[in-house]
């Protein structure tokens, strides 16, 4: 019997992709030059990555549009098989890709493992899309068949961020491919290996025909070229609200759809009847996981006044007990922030809140890119650390007296992504949640949750609604609706 326990062959060989982008099935030098991929925990240069130019984007789009026609025409089991093989490959190469995620992104091992789990799940879920019902029979007042058919859009542009690059890329790449499209992927230059190279290699090994997934890393110039490229008909963007507004405006000017998954400042309501220890356990994960660099992170902790002092004290004690360090070197609860710019922004928000009257209950300091988990009690509600997205390990805690006040506090934001409520009365908490506009609600749980088959998206400044997760959302996101009628004989008209 063959030995199936051997480790899989290495997927990511630096010599193969160093200084290159991926166009038309080949690793080629990018016309935009190169940039170092640097481990934020140590400053080590992991590899040089290639940077695309606007001309590279156009070249990739032309190649993708040609490849897409044959791909869409394939029998649906063939497309589904590629997605299933991709799911299995994520699992087979989980250890290797997790290692890159830990070093390049600064993810702690549990988060890196979760990202691999979700990446595989996204591919398995997407494998069901090619055989899903892609249309409907319509009633007609004429003697004819009337149909609505969902057809591939053609070429999809996917722009993914640095923080969780695997999940935030694959959740658009996999369903777009499954539904018969080609994809141009632009990951953040800081995490191109994890969020781009790994994805390309997985689909290469899965047998995806060349030209269907192209890698065009780069900065704002490349992103603009992707949005304005006429052959790219849909943009799936995940990133900051500020950048998302620009992407949406530019896409609208060019009459193309943009699915925007943007920032958040999620509220976490602890009701009077909540168990404080349970609430703090949830809040610790929701506020400090991945150094707070998650769009769903708990930003605003809204705690009943009878539980407020105990909650602050216990959350601060938990924060003080947490280990911050290099996740590749040993056990750490928090790894590094992505770079000095982000660290300085986070620290500036914390210092401004303290100067405005907030009480520093824990943290507020850093060593290099390692920022201590921070608890701010009673920050003024107009301070940026409370009302804006921090994208760092900062928990702002305020109190409330009545349910009406809790609703007012939770709703007093431009964001509307995720909401968590802790209460002994789950139905009462649900009634409260229905008064607060968000795209996601978790009762007796924290705000950071993700499943491949669940709709995901926010309202307001958090984005344009659920365009990821689940059959209906994905079909809506990555197909166009076409009306078709058929008559037995040509119709007769009076003119």
Taking the CA atoms of 208, 209, 215 and 221 in sequence, report the sign of the dihedral they define: negative
Bridge partner list, 20: 29
Can you give the pTM of this predicted structure? 0.95
Token pair of 463, please?
Answer: 């984005």
Q: What mean pLDDT is predicted for residues 285-313?
A: 98
CATH for 14-262+463-483, options being 3.40.50.2300, 3.40.605.10, 3.30.470.20, 3.30.365.10:
3.40.605.10
Decide the pairing of beta strands 370-371 and 366-367. antiparallel
Q: Is 62's pLDDT higher than 70?
A: yes
Q: What mean pLDDT is predicted for residues 274-291?
A: 98
pLDDT of residue 3: 45
Mean pLDDT, all residues of the chain: 96
Other CB atoms within a 10 A radius of the CB of residue 147 amount to: 15
Give dist(CA 51, CA 218) in Å, integer.
5
Q: Is 4's pLDDT higher than 60?
A: no
Q: What mean pLDDT is predicted for residues 85-101?
A: 98
Q: Is 319's pLDDT higher than 80?
A: yes
Cα 442 to Cα 188, 278, 308: the distances in Å are 29, 14, 21
Residue spans in the chain of domains classed CATH 3.40.309.10: 266-443
Q: Is there a contact between 391 and 292 (Cβ–Cβ < 8 Å)?
A: yes
pLDDT of residue 466: 67
What confidence category does residue 2 fall into, taking pLDDT thresholds of 50, 70 and 90?
very low
Closest residue by Cα to residue 215 from 279, 276, 159: 159
Percent helix, strand, coil in the chain (nearest 5)? 40, 25, 35
Token pair of 105, please?
Answer: 């992104």
Q: Is 5's pLDDT higher than 60?
A: no
Give dist(CA 243, CA 238) in Å, integer.
9
Q: Which residues of 443-473 are buried (b: 16+ CB within 10 A; e: fewer)?
A: bbebbbebebeebbbbbbbbbbbbbbbbeeb
Q: What mean pLDDT is predicted for residues 133-147?
A: 95
Q: Which helix (H) or strand (E) holds 474?
A: helix 471-478
DSSP 366-428: EETTEEPPEEEES--TTSHHHHS---SSEEEEEEESSHHHHHHHHHSSSEESEEEEE-S-HHH
What confidence category does residue 345 fall into, taking pLDDT thresholds of 50, 70 and 90?
very high
Which value, to the nearest 10 degrees, does the dihedral of the CA atoms of residues 410, 291, 449, 84 take? 150
Q: What mean pLDDT is predicted for residues 11-19?
A: 94
Q: Is 467's pLDDT higher than 80?
A: no
Residue spans in the chain of domains classed CATH 3.40.605.10: 14-262+463-483
The CATH code of domain 266-443 reads: 3.40.309.10
Q: Is 76's pLDDT higher than 70?
A: yes
pLDDT of residue 54: 97
Cα 243 → chain centroid: 14
What confidence category does residue 6 fall into, taking pLDDT thresholds of 50, 70 and 90?
low
3 state SS of 481: strand
Bridge partner list, 454: none
CA-based radius of gyration for the chain: 24
**Residues labelled as active-site residues:** 261, 295
pLDDT per residue over 405-452, tens digit each?
999 999 999 999 999 999 999 999 999 999 999 999 999 999 999 999
Q: What mean pLDDT is predicted for residues 277-288?
A: 98
Token pair of 27, please?
Answer: 């690793």
pLDDT per residue over 254-280, tens digit each?
999 999 999 999 999 999 999 999 999
pLDDT of residue 483: 97
């Amino acid at each position: 019997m063959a030995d199936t326990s051997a480790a899989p062959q290495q997927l990511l060989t630096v010599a193969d992709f160093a200084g290159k982008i991926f166009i038309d099935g080949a690793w080629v030098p990018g016309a935009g030059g190169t940039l170092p991929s640097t481990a934020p925990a140590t400053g080590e240069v992991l590899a040089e990555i290639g940077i695309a130019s606007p001309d590279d984007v156009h070249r990739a789009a032309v190649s993708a549009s040609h490849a897409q026609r044959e791909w869409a025409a394939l029998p649906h089991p063939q497309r589904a098989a590629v997605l299933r093989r991709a799911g299995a490959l994520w699992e087979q190469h989980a250890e290797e890709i997790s290692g890159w995620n830990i070093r390049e992104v600064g993810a702690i091992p549990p988060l890196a493992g979760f990202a691999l789990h979700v990446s595989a799940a996204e591919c398995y879920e997407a494998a069901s899309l090619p055989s899903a019902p892609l249309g409907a029979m319509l009633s007609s007042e004429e003697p004819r068949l009337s149909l609505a058919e969902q057809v591939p859009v053609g070429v999809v542009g996917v722009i993914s961020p640095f923080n969780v690059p695997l999940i935030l890329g694959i959740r658009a790449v996999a369903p777009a491919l499954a539904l018969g499209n080609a994809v141009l992927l632009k990951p953040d230059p800081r995490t191109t290996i994890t969020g781009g190279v790994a994805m390309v290699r997985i689909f290469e090994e899965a047998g995806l025909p060349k030209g269907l997934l192209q890698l065009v890393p780069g900065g704002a110039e490349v992103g603009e070229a992707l949005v304005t490229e006429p052959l790219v008909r849909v943009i799936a963007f995940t990133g900051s609200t500020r950048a998302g507004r620009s992407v949406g405006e530019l896409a609208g000017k060019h009459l193309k759809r943009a699915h925007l998954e943007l920032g958040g400042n999620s509220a976490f309501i602890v009701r009077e009847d909540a168990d404080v220890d349970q609430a703090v356990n949830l809040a610790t994960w929701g506020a400090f996981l991945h150094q707070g660099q998650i769009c769903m992170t708990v930003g605003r902790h809204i705690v009943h006044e009878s539980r407020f002092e105990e909650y602050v004290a216990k959350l601060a004690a938990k924060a003080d007990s947490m280990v911050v360090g290099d996740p590749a070197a040993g056990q750490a609860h928090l790894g590094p922030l992505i770079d000095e710019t982000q660290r300085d922004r986070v620290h500036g928000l914390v210092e401004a809140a303290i100067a405005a009257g907030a009480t520093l209950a824990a943290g507020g300091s850093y060593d290099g890119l390692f920022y201590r988990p921070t608890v701010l009690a009673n920050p003024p509600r107009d301070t940026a650390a409370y009302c804006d997205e921090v994208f760092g390990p900062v928990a702002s805690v305020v109190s409330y007296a009545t349910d009406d006040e809790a609703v007012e506090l939770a709703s007093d934001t431009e964001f509307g992504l995720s909401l968590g409520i802790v209460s002994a009365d789950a139905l009462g908490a649900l009634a409260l949640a229905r008064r607060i506009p968000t795209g996601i609600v978790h009762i007796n749980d924290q705000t950071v949750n993700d499943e491949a088959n669940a709709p995901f998206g926010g309202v307001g400044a958090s984005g344009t609604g659920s365009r990821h997760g689940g059959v209906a959302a994905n079909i809506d996101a990555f197909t166009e609706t076409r009306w078709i009628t058929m008559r037995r004989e040509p119709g007769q008209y009076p003119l």
